[in-house]
Chains A and B, each alone.
Chain A
Amino acid sequence: MTPRSILAGSLCLLGCLAGTARAVEVQPTRLEMTLPADQPTEGELEVTNHGGVPVEVRVQSAPYRHFQAGLHIPSAQDWFLFKPEKFLLAPGVTSNVRFTVTPPANVAADSAGEYLAAILVDELPAPLPVFEGPASGNALAIHHSEGAPMPAKEPETALPEPPAERTGKVTIVPRFALPVYFQIEGKERVGVELTNLTVEDERPIPDPNLGIPATETPQRLRLEVTLRSTGTVHVRPDGTFAILQADGGFVQGGRLGRAFPLLPTATLTIPAWTALPGTGSYRLIVTVDAEDIHGERLGELLQKEISFTVSESGAVTPS
């Protein structure tokens, strides 16, 4: 069935805009801290209202949700106490939210070196305009169920006349989710292994939006570097690759590109692509470094080398 037009059908759009657009900014956008296990630690977030109207801001903790699903790293979600948890922020004003982080008693005895969480900063909605009903002239009553995630204040003047058909509202809540990394003092241990390096030829899948057929897309060289964390805290890896002639002459190279933090217990594969070199025998050398949350680099660079050949047809064979 084709959706009906707002004008042609029985739909009546009752209200749309509820004031000027809101915009709240949070700093920092990432929280990485080292905490003592046996005492609370305090910190601060800076929240700024860049919009033209006052906004109500709510701050709460939540599970980590930043790209790496499936890892079982203990959560620090319940360690927070925010002050204030909810506040009104005038246009152009910056306010500080203080938080206290208190690790539970079992953390001191636990072997884990790192705990993850997220801090959610919400812009709570202003009440929507009250609709004046076409027949009775009474305001439409919108009720919130028990347990609703975020009850907004409704105008006290709303009359509880049951709606005759299907009515309601959608309330928009912009939310910003800061990733949180808490490392426990005395238990931080950095450890990374470069476990695997592969190389293969690859014909990219053409983007249909560009209208490039598969036969016209060039082959390229794809390499994958696999890192494994052997430590108790995360590091942020980076690195370079170099392709040399079998006799040692430099052919081409580049950076591995951006990588996620390598979390404890995790394995991280970093892909990179480069132009396929001509027919011949080559050496691929990958060098990886990493830094911890204090900017300290690994004690020594990680390096791995493999050899491969490129045939006349462009096929890559590790040797």
Chain B
Amino acid sequence: MKKTLSLVSLVTAALLCGIPSVGWASVREEVYVTGTILPFGGYRFSGGLRFDAGEPGPTDLGTILVDGMYNGEYPWRMRCYTDNLHFAGVAGSIHTASPAGLVSTDGRFVVPLLIHSPVFGEDSWRAVPDINDAKTVPYKPALTPGGSETTECIVLGIDPRNANWVAGPDNLLFTRDDIPLGDFIWETPFELSLRADFDAGSVQGTYDTYLYFETVPAP
């Protein structure tokens, strides 16, 4: 969908009046411009997944089709996480388990959830964190080319200030061959794959979660 907006642009025009010895008179002129502004858009996700893992072991849960594109101001990032407030853990257990992953219906057990995006590289999987996990380290841009540490699972994003691969073939940021949109994004449509590791100790039953794909726009 396109949104048509009327924009009013003010320009200052200098007009020459009279003879040069009198000087320049400045006149403010309004120019009306009609343009079409494309929506900044967003990524679209198809559906969700139902699965029957059967026996224990690493299990591919299926794929999610991602389409569309986000055209908003950068830096922005899209992170995925669960929000398993209903995870309670096993009463009396010594170790506090992370709430990240698929949670059993009774809220006592959790199975880690992994995600693969083509942006990560071939057969590269990352753990999906939970937003309530106390050990969360939020993303922030790095001041050095080495990057920054974060526990966030960022599946897409553009942040040109700290990524070497934005710099282009000359490896210099802020030069003419920079790739402003060649950042941590992927041509759509593409698929995100989900995997869970139902180990032998995971109890039988129903596991589910809400998987959030949050677009965090430029601040």
Contact = CB atoms under 8 A, between A and B. Distances in A.
Nearest to A18: B47
A166 B48 contact: no
Contacts, number: 284
A301 interface: no
A155 interface: no
Contacts of B198: 166
A202 to B, nearest CB: 8
A38 B210 CA distance: 39
Interface stretch (A254-262, A284-292, A311-319): A254-262
B100 interface: no
A25 B41 contact: yes
Contacts of A48: 1, 39
A125 interface: yes
Nearest to B215: A176
B219 A171 contact: no
Interface string B96-109: 00000011011100
B171 A210 contact: yes
A275 B165 CA distance: 17
B45 A174 contact: yes
B53 A165 contact: yes
Interface residues of A, number: 93
A21 B58 contact: no
A233 to B, nearest CB: 14
B60 interface: yes
A2 B60 CA distance: 10
Given A69-B140, A204-B172, A207-B164, A166 B54 contact: yes
A237 interface: no
B194 interface: yes
A17 interface: yes
B146 A205 contact: yes
Given A165-B53, A172-B45, A254 B209 contact: no
A68 B140 contact: yes
Given A69-B138, A149-B85, A273-B174, A4 B60 contact: yes
B53 A25 contact: no
Interface stretch (A99-107, A184-192, A217-225, A242-250): A217-225
A172 B48 contact: yes
Contacts of B137: 69
Contact of B44 (A51, A122, A144, A166): A51
A143 B165 contact: no
B204 A163 contact: yes
Given A166-B198, A169-B208, A176 B59 contact: no
A109 interface: no
Nearest to A134: B52
Contacts of A68: 140, 219
B202 interface: yes
Given A50-B41, A67-B140, A168 B210 contact: no
B50 A128 contact: yes
Contact of B50 (A4, A15, A254): A15
B7 to A, nearest CB: 15
A66 B216 contact: yes
Interface stretch (B8-16, B20-28, B61-69): B61-69
* Pairs A-B, 8 closest by C-beta atoms: A10-B54, A18-B47, A21-B44, A66-B219, A168-B207, A14-B50, A145-B86, A166-B53
Given A166-B202, A170-B209, 11 more contacts: A9-B57, A12-B52, A14-B52, A15-B50, A19-B47, A21-B65, A146-B86, A148-B86, A164-B204, A204-B167, A210-B165
19 contacts: A3-B59, A4-B59, A12-B51, A13-B49, A15-B49, A15-B50, A17-B47, A18-B47, A23-B41, A67-B75, A68-B219, A128-B47, A165-B204, A168-B51, A170-B51, A172-B48, A173-B211, A173-B213, A224-B143
Interface of B: 1, 39-65, 67-68, 72-75, 83-86, 102-103, 105-107, 111, 113, 137-141, 143, 145-146, 160-161, 164-165, 167, 169-175, 194-195, 198, 202, 204-219
